[in-house]
Amino acid sequence: MNKPVNYGFPTKCLYGNQITSSCDNTGAISFPIYQSATFAHPGLGNSTGYDYSRLQNPTREHLEKVVCSLENGYDALAFSSGMAAIAALMELFKPGDHIISGNDLYGGSIRLFDNINRKNLIEFDYADTGRDDITSYIKPSTKAIYVETPTNPMMNVTDIRKTAAIAKEYGLLLIVDNTFLSPYFQNPLDLGADIVIHSGTKFLGGHNDTLAGFLVVNSEALSEKLRFIIKTIGSGLAPFDSWLILRGIKTLSIRMERQEQNAIEIARWLQHNPKVRNIYFPGLPTHPGYEISKSQSRGFGSMLTFEVEDAETASLILSRVKLIRFAESLGGVETLITYPMTQTHADVPQAERERNGITDTILRLSIGIEDIDDLIDDLSQALQ
């Protein structure tokens, strides 16, 4: 019998909690791509366990089991993108429901909340979930607290245990976007969260070659609700993309270690550059979330935001970098630099951006696995 085993994290990246799969008897080391839309039945009332790939596909199922094991969850669901996962999640709520959300989120999440979910009469209040008294936002219609930690792009840290205790006291769902740290460095379900979100495009995939999203839940009830939603709206991840993410996850632990090591070195180097005003990286002891990060995470990740002296300097850096690419997205093996004001947060109202500190002098780095000296040399020439 293929019983689940509690493997260490690097082993889980390869197999999840089960070495073999019941749907494959070929001995293939690389899990097969089941590129089939539909599956035949042996007879009436008799199924192989697979009917139609919108409902479930063996490749997607295997990926979901791996991701579920990494987050220590009850179930994981794989979607066609991170935003597809969040959009499906919002279908748990009905008109009149109220959600308390972090105020410094990925711009696409804010765009969804403000333009789609509000249209459907779901109410939002944005709060600094790392500093504000969350209880002051709670009202009878409140159903959930939604946080990113660290946040995108200002790297604010929320105390997950403390927020989970508030959610439990008031009977609310706690939803945590764990994209920036990945399950290698942080497991929000273990800290009391109910639902974890990942843009699988980022660190889980790790190679900037496909889109994916995940919801990982801590209960059968949430699993059943979301399984109904994913099969109904049809946003499940395709077989080939599932395979690409499976392949990426195999090296997750190795990549995260190297990327964090590079990020710490770059953060320290930036501290000594006269054109850099501020560095937002939880791995620096001067960061206000440093102690909380140490208490709830196993590392600080490789996302780093910094502020330069003026907009002209920011523009020059973006035009001068050579090895580092000026591009959106994050989490891949290649180092990318992003200008949040016109890229990831372009659809966020200017007043709200500026209130969160996102100005024309802010740059975000997603640090990859390149040689650290090469990265520093590139930043040095770009900051001249």
Which of 202, 255, 353, 364 is flagged as catalytic?
202
* CATH code at position 271: 3.90.1150.10
Would you state the pLDDT for residue 27? 84
Which of 106, 126, 280, 339 is flagged as catalytic?
106
Q: Which of 186, 218, 249 is the last residue of a domain?
A: 249
CB 361 within 8 A of CB 254: no
Angle (deg, nearest 10), helices 82-89 and 220-233: 110
CB 292 within 8 A of CB 147: no
Q: Do 106 and 214 fall into the same domain?
A: yes
* CATH code at position 214: 3.40.640.10
In tens, the pLDDT along 13-30 reads 999 987 666 666 788 899
Annotation marks residue 54 as catalytic: yes
Domain span at residue 319 reads 253-382
In a domain, 353, yes or no: yes
| Cβ-based neighbour number of residue 380 at 10 Å | 11
**C-alpha to C-alpha distance for 225 and 188, rounded to whole angstroms:** 20
Q: Do 119 and 231 fall into the same domain?
A: yes
Asked whether the bond before 239 is cis by omega within 30 degrees of 0, the reply is no
In a domain, 3, yes or no: no
Which of 97, 159, 177, 378 is flagged as catalytic?
177
**C-alpha to C-alpha distance for 341 and 143, rounded to whole angstroms:** 31
Burial group, residue 236, by CB count within 10 angstroms (0-12, 13-18, 19+) = buried
Q: Do 140 and 267 fall into the same domain?
A: no
Which of 7, 24, 54, 277 is flagged as catalytic?
54
Annotation marks residue 168 as catalytic: no
Q: Do 244 and 340 fall into the same domain?
A: no
| Number of domains comprising the chain | 2
Q: Do 195 and 50 fall into the same domain?
A: yes
Q: Do 289 and 222 fall into the same domain?
A: no
Q: Do 220 and 277 fall into the same domain?
A: no
Would you state the pLDDT for residue 347? 81
**C-alpha to C-alpha distance for 215 and 219, rounded to whole angstroms:** 12
* Residue-by-residue pLDDT tens, the chain, 384 positions: 355 678 999 999 999 987 666 666 788 899 999 999 999 999 998 988 899 999 999 999 999 999 999 999 999 999 999 999 999 999 999 999 999 999 999 999 999 999 999 999 999 999 999 999 999 999 999 999 999 999 999 999 999 999 999 999 999 999 999 999 999 999 999 999 999 999 999 999 999 999 999 999 999 999 999 999 999 999 999 999 999 999 999 999 999 999 999 999 999 999 999 999 999 999 999 999 999 999 999 999 999 999 999 999 999 999 999 999 999 999 999 999 999 988 888 888 888 888 888 999 999 999 999 999 999 999 999 999
Task: Write down the H helix ranges in the chain.
Answer: 9-15, 58-71, 82-89, 107-112, 160-170, 182-185, 220-233, 239-249, 252-270, 290-296, 311-320, 350-355, 372-382
Q: Do 372 and 274 fall into the same domain?
A: yes
User: CA 211, 216, 220, 225 torsion: positive or negative?
Assistant: negative
Would you state the pLDDT for residue 25? 76
**C-alpha to C-alpha distance for 155 and 263, rounded to whole angstroms:** 13
DSSP 117: I
Max alpha carbon distance in the chain (Å)? 74
Q: Do 168 and 223 fall into the same domain?
A: yes
pTM, entire model: 0.96
In a domain, 83, yes or no: yes
Annotation marks residue 202 as catalytic: yes
Would you state the pLDDT for residue 1? 34
In a domain, 2, yes or no: no
Q: Do 223 and 312 fall into the same domain?
A: no
